[in-house]
Amino acid sequence: MTGASTDVSADASTDVVVEARNLQRTYDIRRGMFRAPAHLRAVGDISFRIERGRTLAVVGESGCGKSTLARMVALIEKPTAGQLTLVNADAVDTPQDRKRELRQAVQLVFQNPYGSLNPRKKISAVLEDPLAINTTLGKAERAARARDMLARVGLRPEYANRYPHMFSGGQRQRIAIARALMLSPRLLVADEPVSALDVSIQAQVLNLLADLQAELGLAYLFISHDLGVVRHIAHDVLVMYLGHAVEQGPKARIFARPLHPYTQALLASTPGLSSQRIVLKGELPSPLNPPTGCVFNTRCPHVAPRCREERPLLRMLDERQVACHFAEQFLEGAPVVRADVPMAATA
Ligand SMILES: Nc1ncnc2c1ncn2[C@@H]1O[C@H](COP(=O)(O)OP(=O)(O)O)[C@@H](O)[C@H]1O
Ligand SMILES: [Mg+2]
């Protein structure tokens, strides 16, 4: 769509837009002058793949590593370990000139569209600046494309002359989406893009994202803590807990029969999704001091001694991957309630 210098969009030999393999991100936290820094593992070991026209939703509580993952996939932050491939190119160890191209292939949309739009810039500048920096298009053509993009996201072209404060939250998020699309990316990373919006407006923005995806073949990495939202937009789901994937696979499988106790609890706490009610006790443990064994064991209603000793790895079961020692028993329908351990023991 923007032509010049966005030719990464033309070389797709497969439909896979992004692939992450064992992505990790650790932060070194200083603890005073004389102590060695502590290592905070924000993202443990995440792998996924998103194809053209598909949406992977990443869900989990605040602090589980969603935004860190988003920043790595959007090439804002380097992984500590692991591989990231974007439009068939290595996106971690890439020469600078190639990285510039890759940076156009992935764009980020944030939760707070007001914070991410410069209040002193007219919408025309917000939309045209990426073209001015990254393409050889002339002024008239840049303006034409900005107006065209406004129409695409459901706004009137004459809004180009206004400033961000003149718009509602939903309109501002449409503008942020328009800006993200100016360089014809292949992948949109959206970090809680509707969480700050009223429910009625949320649905409109989600519909817009779905329409744009159908029209442009975009891949989405969609971050949300809200399974009600995820239900509308996702094809695949990755459930994160304390930096780790505890369950991931097709949305339909996971929503129909969640096999990880954490997924079960998340679904049960989302209005309208489940008749079951599971209240998770306790707080999310500190990622500076994660539980041994299964990361979820301090809050799991089904915890057994094995869970405190042995970390369950992701394995394929019922067309999704799940990391729970007792997942087979959940699949058989018998809830594993252990009388020998206190329910939801807290750390
Ligand atoms: N730049 C950073 N430096 C140190 N710790 C960080 C940094 N960014 C995130 N963290 C920590 O990493 C963990 C995951 O954070 P984040 O990715 O923001 O989670 P989420 O988006 O799911 O709320 C948190 O414990 C957070 O405090
Ligand atoms: Mg976040």
**Cβ(40) – ligand 1 distance below 6 Å:** yes
The Cα 243–Cα 252 span in angstroms is 23
Phi-psi region of 324 (alpha: psi -120 to 50; beta: other; left: phi over 0): beta
- Say yes or no: CB of residue 285 within 6 Å of ligand 1: no
Query: What CATH superfamily is the domain 7-234?
Result: P-loop containing nucleotide triphosphate hydrolases (3.40.50.300)
The dihedrals phi and psi of 249, each to the nearest 5 degrees, come to: 160, -165
User: What separation in Å is there between the alpha carbon of 310 and the centre of ligand 1?
Assistant: 25
Query: Does residue 135 line the site of ligand 1, with CB under 6 A?
Result: no
The low-confidence residues of the chain, meaning pLDDT below 70, are 1-13, 274-275, 334-347
Cβ pair 175, 109 in contact under 8 A: no
- Measured from the Cα of 240, ligand 1's closest atom is 22
The number of the ligand nearest the C-alpha atom of 71 reads 1
Do 25 and 72 touch, CB atoms closer than 8 A?
yes
Q: What is the pLDDT of residue 184?
A: 96
d(CA 188, CA 177): 9
Which ligand has the nearest atom to the CA of 60?
1
The pLDDT of residue 101: 87
For residues 179 and 114, give the distance between their C-alpha atoms in angstroms, rounded to a whole number.
13
CA–centroid distance, 122 to ligand 2, in Å, is 28
Residue with CA nearest ligand 1 atom 7: 27
The protein residue with its alpha carbon nearest to ligand 1, atom 16, reads 65
Q: Quote the pLDDT of residue 343.
A: 43
Alpha-carbon gap, residue 155 to 127, rounded angstroms: 13
Ligand 1 site, residue 68, Cβ cutoff 6 A: yes
Radius of gyration of the chain (CA): 22
92 neighbors 172 (Cβ within 8 angstroms): no
Report the separation in Å between the CA atom of 23 and the middle of ligand 1, taken as the mean of its atom positions: 15
Question: Cβ(65) to ligand 1 under 6 A?
Answer: yes
This prediction's pTM: 0.91
Select from 68, 112, 239, 242 the residue to mutate for testing ligand 1; criterion: most ligand atoms less than 8 Å from CB: 68
Strands (E), the chain: 16-29, 38-51, 55-59, 81-86, 89-90, 106-109, 187-191, 219-224, 236-241, 244-250, 315-317, 320-322
Q: Which ligand is nearest to the CA of 195?
A: 2
pLDDT score, position 93 = 87
Work out which ligand 1 atom sits closest to the CA atom of 65: 17
**Coil vs helix vs strand at 55:** strand
Residue nearest ligand 1's atom 5 by CA: 27
CA distance 121 to 147: 16
The answer to whether the CB of 130 is under 6 A from ligand 1 is no
How many Å lie between the centroid of ligand 2 and the Cα of residue 208? Answer: 22
Whether the CB of 289 sits within 6 Å of ligand 1: no
